[in-house]
Amino acid sequence: MSNVITYGTFDLFHYGHLEMLRRAKALGSHLTVAVSTDAFTEKDKGKSCECPYAERTAIVAAIRYVDTVIPETCWEQKVSDIKTHNIDVFVIGDDWTGKFDELKRVCEVVYLPRTTDISTSGIKQSLFQGGRTITNTRA
Ligand code: C2G
């Protein structure tokens, strides 16, 4: 029995997000997902969401791999979340490799390879160009 946590924006929820949550859950028995609030995303992550926090949270909460959803409101909350939720494993995509190594003093830290050829920014760019411009090498 081990508790896993991951963090993300999960805007325009797509297959890469689903795969992250599936693989995160496979690392333990209970998965907590911290979803970035709109204010945190805009002010601190420097991007804006197409979908509001309530909708992004509703989608993440409906995924079968997800047991608990909490808000991510700041960069500094992770150690406190890990203690509050008795977390054994912190997991995130390898676009963040090395960025959260300081958490190794409180739990295991895992960076998983990102799913190839899909991203929220890529979807936005493709739609802006009229759609169907993404080359999906997974197909
Ligand atoms: N992801 C993935 N493959 C993709 C796209 C995303 O594995 N093709 C992963 C990311 O690496 C991340 C998770 O899905 O672990 C959520 O991605 P984003 O919504 O882009 O989250 P991000 O803005 O990176 O938020 O404090 C950490 C942040 O909140 C992370």
Residue 136: what pLDDT?
A: 74
pLDDT more than 70, % of the chain: 97
Dump pLDDT digits (tens) for 89-103: 999 999 999 999 999
Residue 137: what pLDDT?
A: 79
Statement: residue 71 has pLDDT above 70: yes
Residue 130: what pLDDT?
A: 84
Rounded distance from Cα 131 to ligand 1 centre (Å): 22
d(CA 120, CA 139): 18
Residue 134: what pLDDT?
A: 67
User: Is the C-beta atom of 95 inside 6 A of ligand 1?
Assistant: yes
- Cα–Cα distances (Å) from 21 to 10, 59, 99, 124, 129, in that order, read 11, 12, 19, 22, 29
Rounded distance from Cα 73 to ligand 1 centre (Å): 16
| CA-based end-to-end distance of the chain | 35
More confident residue, 128 or 60: 60
Tally the C-alpha atoms within 13 A of residue 95's C-alpha that lie toward its C-beta.
Answer: 9
Q: Which helix H or strand E contains 21, and what residues bound it?
A: helix 15-25
* 74-96 mean pLDDT: 98
Rounded distance from Cα 30 to ligand 1 centre (Å): 19
Residue 1: what pLDDT?
A: 79
Q: Which residues are catalytic?
A: 45, 47
Neighbours of 19 (CB within 10 A): 17
Radius of gyration of the chain (CA): 15
Which domains does the chain possess? 3-114 (3.40.50.620)
